Amino acid sequence: MARLNIRWLLRSAFFGIATVVGSEAMFASLAEASSEVPPDVGPGATAPVRPFRLDQVRLGGGLMQEKRDRMKAYLRQYDQRRFLVLFNNQAGRPNPEGVAVPGGWEDGGLLSGHWTGHFMTALSQAYADQGEEIFKTKLDWMVNELATCQDAITARFEGKGQGSGAASWIPTYPGYLGALPEDTVLRLGPPRFAVYGSDLNKNTWAPWYTQHKILRGLLDAYYNTNNTQALEVVTKMADWAHLALTVGDKNHPNYRGNITRDDLNYMWDVYIAGEFGGANEVFPEIYELTGDAKHLETAKCFDNRESLFGAAVEDKDILVVLPQNIPGRRRRERLHANTHVPQFLGYMRVYEQSGERDYLDAARNFYHWVFPHREFATGGTGGNYPGHEDNNELFQNRDDIAYALNKSGGAETCTTYNMLKLARNLFMHEHNATYMDSYERGLFNMITGSRADTNSVDGPQVTYFQPLGPGAARDYDNIGTCCGGTGMESHTKYQETVYLRSADGSTLWINLYVPATLDWEEKGFTVKQETTFPREGSSKFTITGDGPLDVKLRVPAWVRKGFRVAVNGETQGQQEPQPGTYLTLSRLWKTGDVIEVKMPLSIRVERARDRPDTQVIMWGPVVLQTVGQPTGADGFWDLSLYRYLKRDGDYAQGAIKRTGSTVGGDPLFTAAGSDVAVRPYYVSDLQPVSSYFRRVEPAVVFGSIDTGVANRKRNDRLPEYDVPVTGIESPGSDGPTFLDVLWDQAPFVTHADFVKAVTSTADSFVAAGVYTTDERDVIVVKASEAEKELNPGCTPRERRM
Ligand SMILES: *[C@@H]1O[C@H](CO)[C@@H](O)[C@H](O)[C@H]1NC(C)=O
Ligand SMILES: *[C@@H]1O[C@H](CO)[C@@H](O)[C@H](O)[C@H]1NC(C)=O
Ligand SMILES: *[C@@H]1O[C@H](CO)[C@@H](O)[C@H](O)[C@H]1NC(C)=O
Ligand SMILES: *[C@@H]1O[C@H](CO)[C@@H](O)[C@H](O)[C@H]1NC(C)=O
Ligand SMILES: [Zn+2]
């Protein structure tokens, strides 16, 4: 522990000098103040861009606070003693009468214990948010009880205590803590190599996944609430883990020596049993906290060296690849999405604490296999596709979006929870705005959309899958599941990515438009953000504090027109900033300064990468879903929208019209021509909803003028899958239609511009053999006649604030 304090002091000293410019008194008090706060050596601890502590950012009212408060109500009323029942059983401690196990996968079966970790993380985050004592009281109690369980189990190892019944087993190493016997972990390795199943004496179920959740929960208790007992418990667990993964199952009669790299590779490639979550993320942190190098070694034990790790370093996408077992003796042809995403969070942490670049490269490459190649518009990933209809939790084929939509599953919520962590962590190293665009999308759809809009405290009321098949309804509950556990976490940490800072304290990154107040104590700045985004497209920041600071404001990639920033009423910059970048405001700030951001939430459509007629309607980063059971030909809503567009190409003007708002202020729309109700994805009830619809545009039309020419498709050889999809020709002959390609070029400032675009697009379709020259001529003539028809009423001019 001595080492811990020295390291932290050095870090805060560096920070203090860099930012407070030599004010000795202030530096001294800074160092003193900082030394009391636990160092957060989690994501980004050594990165050029770093997070704030959760308690430095306070969420304001709005969508996220509503979702968060519902989850807090659940955490508040839940009897935390239920989490100790199974631990006490293994420790040989009595349980109070009438206290039941949590249930679900927390029922004494082979995954038991993981929710104890999630619950601790969630309590620690809930406490950090507003400092409500009840969460800390519950958490402190749990940590203390777990410490007692750990001691009781270790006492049996030392021959001091002897258990009976469920607690009669003797541990192989000291420090083990779990809701199940230590053997359920050790048997995954040699000589037994246990596989998934339900036999408590023989099988195993992701034992390191469960260990990870408990370790994580304890570390979070330390970081977020300064529970130093949690740090002691977690360090002992890590000491145990090192022996369990190096020396291994040494009391087994067939023991044959230390676990080898080959053994480890074999363990991690086995389906379900070998799932270890992000176990490798905690050990580099414990290494940094304790200075003990063996913990970094433990983290590297999890390298999936025979298959996924090496492939990711080489950027060889093997998420779905035939034949199975090459590479990887036990790898299946389709990898399980949520098994693998968190492994890369661990590789990130190894990189952060060791500086070995392979780990960063692997994480970045893997991330890009999923985004954009397998991400639905909601930020979800994974699902079935024709010919592979056995498990909606697995990755779909590369670039398969439209054929992976399934009504009974896909887009498992916890996978998005992990993808967001990965995007956030990569951003801290590479600052590419694309990471934040994908983060925002996952957050404002999959995460906010995962919590039911009810005040029920009967379970966490979160989703497991968020099916994307047309007319699917969401289902909420999930006591004891992976998604239930990560759900409790997601809804109690909404403030974590709103602001980030450069390591030297010279730059503040504003990543998300979320009402939240940053108290940047070390710099003497407070930044208060007020916004109702995404209900409306504007935000206001009020600064308290004086001094130089670069403020980087995110310009979302979805911005179409009208994004303006003003400081104290003065518009910044001559031109509208580039979407998908950050705009920098460098100045000497003073108390009372106000930054205002306007970012009109345009409506757009996005096409599935493999099937252009399969589309979603977007409102800023938010998917707009159609409500009700679809009535179209193959189970989708069929929508025809081009006839409602004017020259500005703005869907909001006629195609998708705003009809009002809900009581909570959520916008409601209807799709023209069909009267289908359309609303934001995050509205979470039980109605059947569709994210994707089919675009049916049979004829080339300009407003009400029908050219009589068919709106044919260009052959872009879609879909193009590397692994076959049953019944789908690949490469195929699908592609965007004439009108798709034309309207992608909107807005058109003048009618002449429009006719020019029609002409060049028609020419290119003639060159591609899609249209005859006669057809082109008809299209161009009709386009020229459509001036009045397409007049938006006012010319789209840049609007000033
Ligand atoms: C954190 O805990 C340590 C040890 O119990 C204590 O010395 C320190 O003051 C605490 N810090 C805060 C901010 O509560
Ligand atoms: C087995 O692993 C332990 C712990 O890492 C190590 O100290 C020991 O030297 C290893 N033994 C052999 C024979 O490699
Ligand atoms: C959707 O997934 C289920 C469950 O795996 C499967 O039975 C079904 O065939 C899939 N449906 C489609 C349309 O792919
Ligand atoms: C950011 O990432 C995107 C997507 O991978 C890439 O196209 C773009 O070039 C990157 N931008 C920078 C500045 O590196
Ligand atoms: Zn899950």
pLDDT in tens, 493-541: 999 999 999 999 999 999 999 999 999 999 999 999 999 999 999 999 9
Assess contact for 179 and 112: CB atoms under 8 A.
yes
Beta bridge partner(s), residue 705: 702
pLDDT at 391 over 80: yes
719 or 7: which carries more pLDDT confidence?
719
Summary mean pLDDT of the chain: 93
Q: How far is CA 750 from CA 56, 63, 201, 220, 498, in A?
A: 50, 40, 76, 58, 40
Locate CATH 2.60.40 in the chain. 498-598
CA distances from 721 to 85, 214, 729 (A): 49, 40, 9
Q: Which of 223, 2, 209, 204 is nearest to 124 (CA)?
A: 223
What mean pLDDT is predicted for residues 98-123?
97
Average pLDDT over residues 670-675: 92
Stretch 773-792: mean pLDDT: 97
pTM for the predicted model, two decimal places: 0.95
For domain 498-598, give its CATH number from 3.30.310, 2.60.40, 1.10.260, 1.10.3470. 2.60.40
State whether residue 374 is helix, strand or coil: coil
Q: Is the pLDDT of residue 176 over 80?
A: yes
Which helix (H) or strand (E) covers residue 136, if one does? helix 133-157
pLDDT in the model for residue 482: 98
Of 131, 118, 134, nearest to 59 (Cα)? 131
The residue whose C-alpha atom lies closest to atom 1 belonging to ligand 4 is 432
CB 43, CB 428: distance < 8 Å:
yes
Task: State the chain's maximal CA–CA distance in angstroms.
Answer: 95
Atom of ligand 1 nearest to the CA of 226: 1
CA proximity to 644, closest of 610, 684, 617: 617
Return the sign of the alpha-carbon dihedral for residues 267, 271, 274, 275.
positive
Q: Is 336 left (phi over 0), alpha (psi -120 to 50) or beta?
A: beta
> Which pLDDT score is estimated for 163?
79
Q: Which pLDDT band, with edges at 50, 70 and 90, does 4 fall under?
A: very low
Average pLDDT over residues 757-765: 98
CA distance 513 to 510: 8
The protein residue whose alpha carbon is closest to atom 5 in ligand 1 is 228
Going by pLDDT thresholds of 50, 70 and 90, the confidence category of residue 573 is confident
Task: Give the pLDDT of residue 165.
Answer: 86
Q: Is the peptide bond before 327 cis (omega within 30 degrees of 0)?
A: yes
How far apart are alpha carbons 188 and 204 in whole angstroms?
A: 7
In this prediction, residues 243-259 reach a mean pLDDT of 98
Q: What are phi and psi of 595, to 5 degrees?
A: -110, 130
Mean pLDDT of 609-633: 97
Is 50 exceeded by the pLDDT of residue 304? yes
More confident residue, 72 or 9: 72
Ligand nearest to the CA of 105: 5
Cβ-based neighbours of 69, under 8 Å, separated by 6 or more: none
Ligand 2 probe mutation, 239, 243, 258, 261, most atoms within 8 A of CB? 258
- Sheet strands (E) in 46-145: 49-51, 57-59
State whether the beta carbon of 365 lies less than 6 angstroms from ligand 4.
Answer: no
**pLDDT tops 60 at residue 18:** no
Query: What separation in Å is there between the alpha carbon of 250 and the centre of ligand 2?
Result: 12
Q: How far is the CA of 568 from the centre of ligand 1 (A)?
A: 40
Residue 731: cis peptide before it, omega within 30 degrees of 0: yes
pLDDT score, position 196: 98
Q: What is the pLDDT of residues 183-231, one digit of tens each?
A: 999 999 999 999 999 999 999 999 999 999 999 999 999 999 999 999 9
* DSSP string covering 548-607: EEEEEEEE-TT--S--EEEETTEEPSSSPPPTTEEEEEEEEE-TT-EEEEE----EEEEE
Strands 638-639 and 693-695: parallel
**Could you tell me which residue, 35 or 761, shows the higher pLDDT?**
761
Give the pLDDT of residue 179: 98
pLDDT of residue 113: 98
Q: Which amino acid is at 264?
A: L
Find out whether the peptide bond into 51 is cis, omega within 30 degrees of 0: no
Q: Which of 4, 2, 1, 23 has the alpha carbon at shortest distance from 522?
A: 23
36 confidence band (pLDDT: 50, 70, 90): low
Q: How far apart are CA 328 and CA 375, in angstroms?
A: 25
Q: Which residue puts its alpha carbon closest to atom 11 of ligand 2?
A: 258
